[in-house]
Amino acid sequence: MSTDTSANHTFHIHHDAPAVVGRRERLGVRLLIVADAAFVVAMIFSYFYLRGLNANGGWVPKGGHTLSASTGWVVAAPLVIAAIAHKIGAKSRNVVTSGIVLLSMLVGGYLQWHQLAHMPFISVDDGGRHFFEGAYASNWAVLGGANMFHYIIGTFLALGLFIRRSRAKVDPTLEYWRQLTASSWFTWIAISAVLCAITTGII
C-alpha cells in the first residue's frame, strides 16, 4: 500500500487591506504611548512629591548643584520642531521635511546625551563611589533618561521614514497610515518633553 505524495496543493495567502493594517499598527503605537505616559506622569508626580516633602533638606542639600530652568527647554525644542515638521511633511509628502525631522532628532539627542554626561550634581565619596547630591538630582537624571529614550526611539523612526520618503515608489495608502502612526509618537514625545521641561524648571 502506497501513499501518493505528488498531489498538487494550492495555497491562498490572504493579505489584510492597508487600512486594516494601518489601524492595527496605530493602535499598537497608541497603547505604547499610554504605557509610556503612565511612566512619565509617575516620574513627574515623584518629582513634586519629593520636592514638597524635602525630608531632612534632602531635595537640594546644602552646597548642592542645580540646573537652570532653561536646560529642559533646550532638549524639548528639537522634539517640538520635529513634531511640527512631521505634521507638515505628512501632508506635503516632502523629503525635506523628513530630513528636518531626522536632523532635529539627531541634534536634540546629542544635546540630551551631553546634559546627562555632564551632570554637575554627582559627587564622589572617600571610597571612590559616585552618588547624586540629593533627590532633585536623582529625579532630574531619571527624567533626562526618559527623554533620551524618546530620542533614541524617535531617531530610528525618523531615519526609517526618511529612507522610505527618499524612495521613488511607495504605496500611497500604506505610506499614509505610516505617517499617521508616526505622527502619534512624535506628538507624544514632544508633549512629554514640554511637561518634563516645565517640571524640572521648578526647583
Q: Each residue of 162-200: pLDDT tens digit?
A: 888 777 566 666 677 777 888 899 999 999 999 999 999
Rounded distance, CA 29 to CA 85, Å?
Answer: 20
Q: What pLDDT score was predicted for residue 24?
A: 73
Backbone angles phi, psi at 74, to 5 degrees: -60, -40
Percent of the chain at pLDDT exceeding 90: 48
Which domains does the chain possess? Answer: 21-54+91-201 (1.20.120)
**CA distances from residue 73 to 38, 80, 150 in whole angstroms, order as listed:** 22, 10, 15
Rounded distance, CA 83 to CA 21, Å?
Answer: 23
Q: What pLDDT score was predicted for residue 71?
A: 93
Per-residue pLDDT band at 91 (split at 50, 70, 90): confident
Q: What pLDDT score was predicted for residue 2?
A: 52
84 or 127: which leads in pLDDT: 84
15 or 199: which leads in pLDDT: 199
Q: What pLDDT score was predicted for residue 166?
A: 76
Q: What pLDDT score was predicted for residue 129?
A: 63
